[in-house]
Structure 1
Amino acid sequence: MGALSSLRVLDLTQVLAGPYCTMLLADMGADVVKIERPGGDLIRPNPPFLDDPEAEAYGGYFQSVNRGKRSLELDLGDADDREAFLSLVERADVVVENYRAGTMEKFDLDYETLRERNPELIYSSIRGFGDPRTGETDRQGQPSFDLVAQALGGVMEITGHPDGPPTKVGPGIGDLFTATLNCIGILAAVYHRERTGEGQYVDTAMYDAMLSLTERAIYQHSYTGEPPTRRGNSHPTLFPYDAFETADGYVVIAAFGTNHWRALCEAMDRPDLAADYPDPESRLGNRTHLRAEIADWARSRATDEICSLLEGRVPAAPVQNTADIFDDPHVRDREMLVPVDQPGADGSVEIAGNPIKMTETPPRPRGRAPLLDEHRDELLGSATEAETDATEAADD
């Protein structure tokens, strides 16, 4: 039993932001029904594959963010399929979609229409620029992807090295962070409905989410009047807080607290630095000189040696690649790599686990991603049975 085991979610989303949001709900036990357009989610055929793409039902991208869901293929422009969808809406708790603003209106399946069929429904949308219901702007209706959101929201301007171009963050945070915030909004709406019986519209925009994520840049601009820009791996107000090249890789060191600074200087056998720069202000004011001193020390030592010298005294860690992550016992102990079946291949694959840990109702991936339309009979069959039961009750 998951914490959300009584929640039924109709998921009309595709690609990344929406599916990640509903994946979080599925991991926590919600029954997530993935309503797919004819041909399925656009990302189903995206690589990587284990073997022959022709023999596989979907690639790793789809598997990772659609695990534990049920699939139903519907053409919302078809009258019968539209009615099938509405029959599911009547028994659903949440509908989630990530179309452009106005798309659901074209199918006559907007929030207001669905609310007539289910007054307690929670309707949630993820869009690049939000929905007019929560604040109308001239950008709504424009397409957006992670790269666009990171660019507009200020993330790219503060990411990268000072002498390099604006750089996107590696993971698709424009999608993932927006999805996480949307999931929080849905859960808040569910809690509100439990207390009041009232459904509502939940709207999360990618542009808005990136502004929230760049909170440091926003307040810095407000306080100083200057737009922050790229600083590499360093921090604008804390030092040392940076990545340093080692003899065999890179290590990050975060020793901005005076106790950490003293421990770092001791490990470097440089008591003079601890004495000459005893407070955060002096260290920050002389960061160029001090960074060079730390860089010289780190460059001649192996990453493991540095981490051993600093372990337990200074926040430090190696910069790991995914091979290192797969070998890390901590990751296994925390169940952050989870095996799931891969249709069309001989064997299972591993995907990222759920970082939310709960003692009584632990979230976890609840099986592989679905095949397209895999659950049609059980979903529409149950809808037909519910309609028959309702008719019989009325006749009685």
Structure 2
Amino acid sequence: MSFGALSDIRIIDLTQMLAGPYGTMMLADHGAEVIKVEPPTGDMTRPNGPWHDDDMLRTHGGYFQSVNRNKKSIVLDLKSVEGRTVLLELIRDADAITENFRVGVMDKLGLSYEVLREENPKLVYGALRGFGDPRTGRSPYAEWPAFDVIAQAMGGIMGITGPDPDHPTKVGPGIGDIVPGMMLAFGVLSAIHHARRTGTGQFVDVAMLDAVLAVCERGVYQYDITDRIPVPIGNGHPFMCPFGMYPAKDGHVTIAAPHQRFFELLCDLIDAPDVKADERFASPEQRSRHRDVLERLLCDVTSHFTKAELSERLGGRIPFGPVLQMDEIAENRHFAARQMIVPVEQPGSTQMTHVSGIPVKLSETPGGIHHRGPYLGEHTEEVLRQSGITDSEIEKIKAALPA
């Protein structure tokens, strides 16, 4: 099925786990043909749950389903001559290849960027590694393996996240993987645009650490200008107040009212005239200077209301939002209207699995989630035939795979 703004793009995807597959998922969600090349054992996330109670197959855990929708799967053993030969065939008419192996793995297989470029000069080669590839700048940690929590720690985000300076905290979602994946998608698309204009492909390198540091841009200039190390300060803001999370009777809400008009309106709406009249809070600078006192007074007031009551009073009038749990998000009209929770077929179960939707909405060429994650090797024969490989050759390739 052809759809989306990227329907004329073909990606050979060797990535596994979360970071790389998230990036290629973004491309697939907007119509790119993403051919997921899996080893005979499959992507390392295939055995991971969670699972529906009635799922007897256990081929598509929630982890795998979430970031591998809209993709095709073929099985190749890249350690074999047959597997490497097929990969060379596939990249000849591909726009890009992506991989997130450790440094030197593809080189040892004889499938380095330099080798593949000889087969297809227009090819874009996207690499995503913990500490980047030496081709664009050799990190002293180039050989180290990395996962999300490592990137969050060394990229700076944990050092500014948490309740206080003594308790640095990992951000809940795996943004040490997801943000680099997003940047991989952006880099690959940028390079494909250049290749189509000039006929020349290139090497696209994303380091997980670099991507996380880029998200922490405020900390970079904050340290440079003030010569003070940014530290975790809970749910507030280092410069603005009130700006953060506040208690309610049944949970928490967020309020961002540092500007004078919003601050005065906030005080009126939550019946806090004494806070509004206090000279310590007469200006943004004063409020920042006395933030501890102001935060304590506001918490005392907001804790007397439920989230719904605060939403009724503040919603749409100042920057405000309740802290929603996933059960509330599942029932929330915004996410329903925006199609941000989407059902996909769940092999082995009578139930559907719901995954996150597509946040980038295009009016003329909308993306979509049209297919569940593929079975391991589901499209091997189809893809190989499209590449001109004969049925007898396909049978030999399949026979050479480890049992």
Q: Give the TM-score range, shorter chain.
A: over 0.9
Shift of 1:210: 1.1
Tell me what 1:189 maps to: 191
Tell me what 2:321 maps to: 317
Tell me what 2:131 maps to: 129
Tell me what 2:17 maps to: 15
Within a 5 Å distance, the mapping from 1:89-168 to structure 2 comes to 89-162=91-164, 164-168=166-170
User: Which amino acid is 1:187 matched to?
Assistant: L
Tell me what 1:67 maps to: 69
Tell me what 2:396 maps to: none
**How many angstroms apart in 2 are the aligned matches of 1:139 and 1:33?**
31
Shift of 1:54: 5.0
Query: SS in structure 1 opposite 2:35?
Result: strand
Shift of 1:262: 0.8
2:383 corresponds to 1:347: no
Shift of 1:157: 1.2
Q: Answer whether contact 1:67 1:365 (CA < 8 A) is retained.
A: yes
Give me the TM-score of the superposition, normalised by structure 1. 0.95
Q: For 1:326-367, what per-residue CA distance to the aligned partner results, in whole angstroms no more than 9, with x for missing partners?
A: 000110110101111011111321110010000011112231
Question: Where in structure 2 are there 5+ consecutive unaligned residues?
Answer: 393-403
**How many angstroms apart in 1 are the aligned matches of 2:315 and 2:375?**
47
CA RMSD of aligned residues (A): 1.5
Q: Answer whether contact 2:56 2:349 (CA < 8 A) is retained.
A: no
Query: SS in structure 1 opposite 2:139?
Result: coil
Shift of 1:164: 4.8
**How many angstroms apart in 2 are the aligned matches of 1:75 and 1:142?**
25
Shift of 1:385: 5.3
Query: SS in structure 1 opposite 2:246?
Result: strand
Q: 110-119 or 343-352, which moves further after superposition? A: 343-352
Question: Where in structure 1 are there 5+ consecutive unaligned residues?
Answer: 389-396
Q: Answer whether contact 1:33 1:69 (CA < 8 A) is retained.
A: yes
Tell me what 1:392 maps to: none
Q: Answer whether contact 2:165 2:233 (CA < 8 A) is retained.
A: no
**How many angstroms apart in 2 are the aligned matches of 1:263 and 1:15?**
47
**How many angstroms apart in 2 are the aligned matches of 1:364 and 1:193?**
26
Q: For 1:56-86, what per-residue CA distance to the aligned partner results, in whole angstroms no more than 9, with x for missing partners?
A: 2120000000001000111101011111111
Q: 52-61 or 297-306, which moves further after superposition? A: 52-61
Tell me what 2:331 maps to: 327
Shift of 1:163: 6.1
**How many angstroms apart in 1 are the aligned matches of 2:53 and 2:81?**
39
Q: Answer whether contact 1:26 1:366 (CA < 8 A) is retained.
A: no
Within a 5 Å distance, the mapping from 1:114-263 to structure 2 comes to 114-162=116-164, 164-263=166-265
Q: For 1:140-185, what per-residue CA distance to the aligned partner results, in whole angstroms no more than 9, with x for missing partners?
A: 1210000000010111111111165211000000100011111111
Q: Answer whether contact 2:258 2:284 (CA < 8 A) is retained.
A: yes
**How many angstroms apart in 2 are the aligned matches of 1:206 and 1:103?**
18
Q: Answer whether contact 1:26 1:68 (CA < 8 A) is retained.
A: yes
**How many angstroms apart in 2 are the aligned matches of 1:370 and 1:316?**
41
Within a 5 Å distance, the mapping from 1:294-305 to structure 2 comes to 294-305=298-309
2:13 corresponds to 1:6: no
Query: SS in structure 1 opposite 2:176?
Result: helix
**How many angstroms apart in 1 are the aligned matches of 2:131 and 2:259?**
40
User: Which amino acid is 1:141 matched to?
Assistant: E
Tell me what 2:272 maps to: 270
User: Which amino acid is 1:118 matched to?
Assistant: N
Q: Answer whether contact 1:56 1:345 (CA < 8 A) is retained.
A: no
User: Which amino acid is 2:254 matched to?
Assistant: V
User: Which amino acid is 1:363 matched to?
Assistant: G
Give me the TM-score of the superposition, normalised by structure 2. 0.94
Number of positions where the alignment pairs a residue of Structure 1 with one of Structure 2: 388
Query: SS in structure 1 opposite 2:342?
Result: strand
User: Which amino acid is 1:297 matched to?
Assistant: V
2:380 corresponds to 1:376: yes
**Identity rate of aligned residues, in percent?**
45
User: Which amino acid is 2:236 matched to?
Assistant: S
**How many angstroms apart in 1 are the aligned matches of 2:35 and 2:272?**
61
Tell me what 2:297 maps to: 293
Q: For 1:291-331, what per-residue CA distance to the aligned partner results, in whole angstroms no more than 9, with x for missing partners?
A: 11101101111111112111222111111110000000110
Tell me what 1:77 maps to: 79
Q: 8-17 or 256-265, which moves further after superposition? A: 256-265
**How many angstroms apart in 1 are the aligned matches of 2:390 and 2:285?**
69
2:371 corresponds to 1:367: yes
Q: For 1:176-206, what per-residue CA distance to the aligned partner results, in whole angstroms no more than 9, with x for missing partners?
A: 0011111111111111112211111100000
**How many angstroms apart in 2 are the aligned matches of 1:236 and 1:154?**
16
**How many angstroms apart in 2 are the aligned matches of 1:387 and 1:181?**
38
Tell me what 1:284 maps to: 288
Q: Answer whether contact 2:165 2:231 (CA < 8 A) is retained.
A: no
Q: Answer whether contact 1:128 1:145 (CA < 8 A) is retained.
A: yes
Relative to structure 1, is the Cα distance of residues 344 and 129 closer, same or farther in structure 2, using a 3 angstrom cutoff? Answer: same
User: Which amino acid is 1:2 matched to?
Assistant: G
**How many angstroms apart in 2 are the aligned matches of 1:162 and 1:224?**
19
**How many angstroms apart in 2 are the aligned matches of 1:4 and 1:127?**
25
